[in-house]
Amino acid sequence: MPLTNRSKTVTVRELTLAERLYLPAIFKGMLITISHIFKRTPTIRYPETKREFAPVYRGQHVLKRDEDGAERCTACGLCAVACPAEAIIMESAERKKGEENLYREEKYASIYEINMLRCIFCGLCEEACPKEAIFLTDRIVPSSFTRGEEVFGKNILVEPIDQRVDVSKRQTPEVLEFKHDKKHSHNRTFKDPKPTISRGH
């Protein structure tokens, strides 16, 4: 019994003269190819025009500053723990007197490096961060000639004071709420209770 009515009965029969000549088939094929002259190319010529990204696109990371321009990161290491690709390393240091305008809390990251070749842009670092310090942005990680150049340090990652990176698309109130309720987290350990509320909104 046929499951669908799409099946076709195949028979082996002698080819007709027109089929054996091949020429009608060739002309048919050539008409198909030539019809593509009138079709639009879907190519996006990258540096001149850019593809429009989805609002939740995860690209190059940024280390945010707070409203006064002090770095938010406290080098707690949660992002490095959360990172499945082990792309993040950091070293912490203690804030000295007089550096209050530079670092938000008493501890800060003196070295913070993300290896962009290891990073899989999953966004778990962003989710793990309790200080709203690290975000993924809609910027494409630039290519480089050496592997070393792809290890981004604080000089690249921390946003410049005068050129703040807009992360409002990713940091919506819903996302904040989601992050603060650890029951929703992807990053929970087995000891945590299973999420009772359905994920998302």
Partner 1 sequence: MSLSPELIYSILLCVIIFTISLAVAAYATWGERKFAAILQDRVGPSRAGPFGLLQPLADGVKMFMKEEMIPSKSNKWLFILGPSLFMLTACMVSVVIPWGGNLTIGETTFPLQITDINIGILYMFGVVSMGIYGIMIGGWASNNKYSLLGALRASSQMISYEIAMGLAIIALVMLTGSLSLKEIVAQQDAGLAFVVYQPLGFLIFIICSFAETNRAPFDLAECESELVGGYHTEYSSMKLGLFLFAEYINMFISSAVMATLYFGGYNFPFQHELADAIGLSANGLTILQTVIFFGKVIGFILLFMWVRWTLPRFRYDQLMNLGWKVLLPLAIANIFITGLVMYFLGKLD
- The nearest distance, CB 104 to partner 1, in angstroms, is 47
- The nearest distance, CB 191 to partner 1, in angstroms, is 54
- The nearest distance, CB 146 to partner 1, in angstroms, is 23
Residue 20 vs 194, nearer CB to partner 1: 20
Residue 5 vs 41, nearer CB to partner 1: 41
Contact of 135 with 65, CB cutoff 8 Å: no
Q: What is the 3-state secondary structure of 26-55?
A: HHHHHHHHHHHHHCCCCCCCCCCCCCCCCC
Angle (CA) 56 64 138, round 5°: 25
The token pair at 141 is 């990680």
Contact of 105 with 92, CB cutoff 8 Å: no
Helix (H) / strand (E) containing 157 = helix 154-157
Residue 82: strand, helix, or coil: helix
Residue 27 vs 188, nearer CB to partner 1: 27
Cβ-in-10-Å burial (0-12, 13-18, 19+) of 5 comes to exposed
- The nearest distance, CB 192 to partner 1, in angstroms, is 50
- The nearest distance, CB 19 to partner 1, in angstroms, is 14
Residue 9 vs 33, nearer CB to partner 1: 33
The residue ranges that bind partner 1 (CB under 8 A) are 26, 29-30, 32-34, 36-37, 39-43, 45
Residue 10 vs 23, nearer CB to partner 1: 23
